[in-house]
Structures are given as structure tokens and as C-alpha cells.
């Protein structure tokens, strides 16, 4: 289990202050706008930066004090970092073989072949999609208990994204205790994969909810000025002025379905959640 307890990190004007938990056997997504603090959170969980306050633990141990053996149970894919681009896939196989006792070479080789990743081409000559697939495959190659992925599908076309999501689904299906923590800008990826979502804004968690509940109970109400005046706003989380009147974001869709049958109600999606919770009034 990953526990982030009152993590504080300050960079000039930016202040991160969050707490979160990723229990075993769950897929947790972190969403938010650029600069909200997603990558800083991931870096703190990985022990790459030193918190100014609070604690980050993996299975009860501070991440900055994890031993090599303990780090072997993590599979990591970062959006902007990986093995040196001067290496070949065949080099990476030799390195991983020596790095991880549990490295599954057959799985890695087969997946590289099926994903069209050549063994004898330098990584710097790979396309964006090929690099992303390689990063994910490296993370999956040693039977890690926890995957930590920062934007694993960023900048990829739909086919490459689906390939990566399929790999992650298969990884999860092999063992119920496996967990994934991932950040993504692409809401459909998160909707189809995550059990729960944390929304970070300006360095703070402003919402934590099960994905199923977001998709079933959250909604956008589209109302004109008159209806807005009489609308019961006790379940409205955020409101945004629009041309037609107001868009109101609620976590109690059924309440408005039952009590305001005439208004337009659109099912909530993670994109709406980000837009309304971080940009509304």
C-alpha cells in the first residue's frame, strides 16, 4: 500500500500539500491540469524529490529509504524519462536481466516483437509511440506488485493508447493484489481503467471519488437563468456561466432527475470533473 500523509513540497509560488492512499489491488488515477502537482506527487512517491513536510510510505517504509530489493517490486514508467536513448532494446534486455531477479525475458521479447519494437535499432530512432510502449513494457517486465506511471499514454494515437491499456489490463488480470497509480490527461483512459480518481488542483486534492460513482452520480445540469434562480443548489459542486445560462456540476444526479424533470442533465465524465471543479465558480 502507498500512503501519502500530509506531503508538503514548495517550489517558489507553488505549494503542494496532499494526502492520499493507494490500497493493494486497486487502480488509482490522478487527474488535474498542467502544473497542478501530479508529476510532483509521483516524484515524491518515487523518492526522487525530498518532501518539505509529511511522509510518503510504500508498504510502511519511507520511499527515500527503500532498498534495491524493495524497489524491485515497483514498475515505473515516466513520461519524460527512460533508459538512455543511445541504447538498443537488446542492451536493455541484458541490463534488466542483471537488474531484476524476476525479469521475464520471454514475456519482454515476445511483447517487443508483437508491439513492433526492433531489437537492433537505437531508442533515439524510435517514434514517440514506440518509446512509450517500451517504457510500459520495461515497467511490466519483472512482475512488479505496483506500477507507477506518469502519463503513460501522452502524445499517442488511439491505437497505441489501446495497446498500452490492454497491456495494463492483462497485467492486472494476472494477480488480484497488483496495483497501479497513474496520471493521465486522457479521461477515457482513466474511466476505463481506474477504480478511483484523485483530482489535484493548485497543489491540493479537491476531490477523491470512485470512478463508478463519478460516472453514475455526477452530472452537468444545463439550466437557463430563471431555472438557476429557483434551483436547489445544496448539491451543486461548481457552477459555470454559459451562453444559455449556467452549467452546474453535481454529485447527486438522481436528486435533480427526480425533482427537476424539465432540465437538461448530461452524465458526468472525468473531463467535465476537471473542467468544472478547477475552472468553475
* Binding flag, residue 72, another protein (CB under 8 A): yes
What is the spatial distance between Cα 153 and Cα 182, in angstroms, rounded to a whole number?
10
Q: Which is nearer to another protein, 72 or 130 (CB)?
A: 72
Binding residue (CB under 8 A) for another protein from 21, 91, 252, 271: 91
Q: Which of 248, 181, 235 is nearest to 42 (CA)?
A: 181
Which among 83-91, 112-120, 172-180, 183-191 is the span making contact with another protein, rule CB under 8 A? 83-91
Among 21, 25, 47, 263, binds another protein (CB under 8 A): 47
96: exposed, middle or buried (Cβ count in 10 Å: 0-12, 13-18, 19+): middle
Does 74 interact with another protein (rule: CB under 8 A)? Answer: yes
- CB closer to another protein out of 90 and 233: 90
The least CB distance from residue 105 to another protein, in Å, is 14
Q: Kindly state the cell numbers that stand for 56.
A: 510518503
Binding mask 112-151 for another protein (x = CB under 8 A): ----------x------------x------------x---
Q: Pick between residue 93 and residue 206 the one whose CB is nearest to another protein.
A: 93
> Comparing C-alpha atoms, which of 84, 88, 83 is closest to residue 119?
88
- Of 13, 34, 60, 67, the residue at the interface with another protein (CB under 8 A) is 67
Residue in the structure block whose three cell numbers are 534486455: 93
Q: Which residues of 119-134 are buried (b: 16+ CB within 10 A; e: fewer)?
A: eeeebeebeebbbbbb
Angle between helices 89-99 and 128-140 (to 10 degrees): 20
The residue ranges that bind another protein (CB under 8 A) are 43, 46-50, 66-69, 71-72, 74, 76, 78, 80-87, 91, 94-96, 98-100, 122, 135, 148
Amino acid at each position: 500500500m502507498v500512503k501519502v500523509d500530509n506531503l508538503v513540497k514548495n517550489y517558489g509560488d507553488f505549494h503542494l500539500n496532499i494526502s492520499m492512499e493507494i490500497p493493494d489491488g486497486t487502480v488509482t488515477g490522478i487527474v488535474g491540469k498542467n502544473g497542478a502537482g501530479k508529476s510532483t506527487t509521483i516524484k515524491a512517491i518515487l523518492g526522487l524529490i525530498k518532501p518539505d513536510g509529511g511522509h510518503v510510505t510504500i508498504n510502511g517504509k519511507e520511499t527515500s529509504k527503500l532498498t534495491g530489493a524493495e524497489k524491485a517490486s515497483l514498475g515505473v514508467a515516466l513520461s519524460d524519462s527512460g533508459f538512455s536513448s543511445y541504447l538498443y532494446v537488446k542492451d536493455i534486455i541484458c541490463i534488466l536481466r542483471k537488474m531484476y531477479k524476476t525479469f521475464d525475458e520471454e514475456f519482454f521479447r515476445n511483447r517487443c516483437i508483437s508491439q513492433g519494437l526492433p531489437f537492433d535499432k537505437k531508442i533515439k530512432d524510435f517514434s514517440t509511440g514506440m518509446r512509450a510502449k517500451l517504457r510500459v513494457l520495461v515497467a511490466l517486465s519483472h512482475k512488479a506488485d505496483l506500477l507507477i506511471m506518469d502519463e503513460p499514454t501522452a502524445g499517442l494515437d488511439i491505437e497505441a493508447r489501446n495497446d498500452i491499456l490492454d497491456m495494463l489490463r492483462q497485467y492486472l488480470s494476472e494477480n488480484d493484489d497488483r496495483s497501479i497509480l497513474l496520471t493521465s490527461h486522457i479521461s477515457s483512459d482513466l474511466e476505463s481503467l481506474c477504480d478511483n480518481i484523485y483530482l489535484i488542483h493548485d497543489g491540493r486534492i479537491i476531490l477523491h471519488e470512485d470512478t463508478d460513482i463519478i460516472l453514475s452520480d455526477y452530472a452537468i445540469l444545463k439550466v437557463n437563468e430563471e431555472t438557476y434562480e429557483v434551483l436547489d443548489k445544496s448539491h451543486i459542486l461548481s457552477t459555470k456561466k454559459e451562453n444559455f445560462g449556467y452549467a452546474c456540476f453535481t454529485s447527486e444526479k438522481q436528486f435533480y432527475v427526480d425533482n427537476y424533470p424539465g432540465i437538461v442533465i448530461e452524465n458526468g465524465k472525468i473531463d467535465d470533473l476537471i473542467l468544472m471543479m478547477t475552472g468553475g465558480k
